[in-house]
Chain A
């Protein structure tokens, strides 16, 4: 088995909420490190803008294990969807060695829904 994933309480957050989660891995080879990253990027007509708001690494050679993390979201930007632009928040986990990656979308908005323009 070769997998990595993140367990979250929920996928919807308000600005300044604290994201609490656990990254769990079960890999075939020692990873050297496990990294978790939270950020956002834009999609749509325009070229992509992106920003990493949080990233954390645990140095480890264990092929299986878990680590807890928590991170306070910033006050902006919100997840939004317009005619030309969409802003998507994401959370990602990956071992430093190898191409394995786990990613999921998050919603960060005051009403826990993507802001529709």
Chain B
């Protein structure tokens, strides 16, 4: 019974390697040149001799950032000072370690204001290279900010490389399989997969964001069109977005309406039943249970398989078991219902892999007269069969 496993290439690993290498390389080089070197020079300058220097130029220089497609103007303080060291006259345009151009003009104006034209200040001269001198040997904030940002990029790059090479310690790697616990939970409450509050908040945020952006876009078009209706082409382009927004709004309204429904509470005699184990579910409704006209419960088993398709990750589902365990018309209000069922002992227990899963759930559906119905899904962990003796096996 020999067999082989299929092998598959993962192009995402190659992309991670490229991105990781680029981030690590660029981050390291930036951290070295714009961070480490200025700090190192500042520390070395503690032993540099002081001389008197005169400011012979002090102005803010404007230029266009060549790397920026938006043609942003950047500003740089141009401070030129002149000094005499060992009988020779030098000029230096460097006023501190780690100088940067910035889109904020104020920073450059402040620097220029500190060193007005014609004033005299103290310079620190590199005795090994007298042409090198600075007015301020302290590390400016920009150096620290640049160093932290560059190191962060380098660390992220290193992390991506390690991940791509599978070099993380095995104990850090997420276990491929979460074994279903053998422990009994006992009598417990069941909770829906997605809470009513989560649904309400999620749908409201999504609908408000989408329709808000759509309204903003429509207003922008309308005001640019001299406050007249947009032309047909623009309307056609906007129409799919309007349809999606309408759908989201409709769903949101349904969820808001359903928040006024009676709320079901489910309790189960064993929170993690074994295959073949009889269990009892008790169902309570908050006020207004008389509005329910029909109530049904079903036990559902689903396979889920996650896979990559190109750059997308997809998950396919297949319901392999769907059995109605309760279905009845309801007349008047009621306090409590009890339903008995068991997961077939020939079926499969709950299984959780990284990409594949077997899940069980209790599906509740309550019809409400002239209102949105209640539909909830309650996940259920199903444990393996108890280990029986030889003579008990059928």
Contacts and interface: CB of A to CB of B under 8 A. Distances in A.
Interface of A: 11, 14-16, 41-51, 74-78, 80, 82-85, 87, 102-105, 110-111, 115, 117
Contacts of B306: 46-47
B180 interface: yes
B334 interface: no
Contacts of A49: 176-177, 353-356
Nearest to B315: A46
A117 B321 contact: yes
Contacts of B347: 115, 117
B349 A76 contact: yes
B3 A76 contact: no
B305 interface: yes
Interface of B: 1-3, 5-6, 176-177, 179-180, 182, 301, 303-308, 315-318, 320-321, 345-349, 351, 353-356, 358, 384-385, 387-388, 393-394
A83 B182 contact: no
B356 A85 contact: yes
Given A48-B5, A49-B353, A83-B303, 10 more contacts: A16-B387, A45-B307, A46-B305, A49-B176, A51-B176, A77-B349, A80-B348, A83-B320, A85-B356, A117-B358
Contacts of A87: 351
Contacts of B354: 47, 49
Contacts of B303: 82-85, 117
B1 A78 contact: no
B355 A42 contact: yes
Contact of B305 (A41, A78, A85, A102): A85
A116 B351 CA distance: 14
B387 A15 contact: yes
B307 A47 contact: yes
A115 B303 CA distance: 13
Nearest to B393: A111
Nearest to A86: B356
A85 to B, nearest CB: 5
Nearest to B175: A51
6 contacts: A46-B315, A46-B356, A75-B182, A80-B348, A87-B351, A104-B2
Contacts of B182: 75
B318 A115 contact: no
A45 B354 CA distance: 13
A82 B320 contact: yes
A105 B1 contact: yes
B305 A45 contact: yes
A110 B256 CA distance: 47
Contacts of B316: 45-46, 84
A12 to B, nearest CB: 12
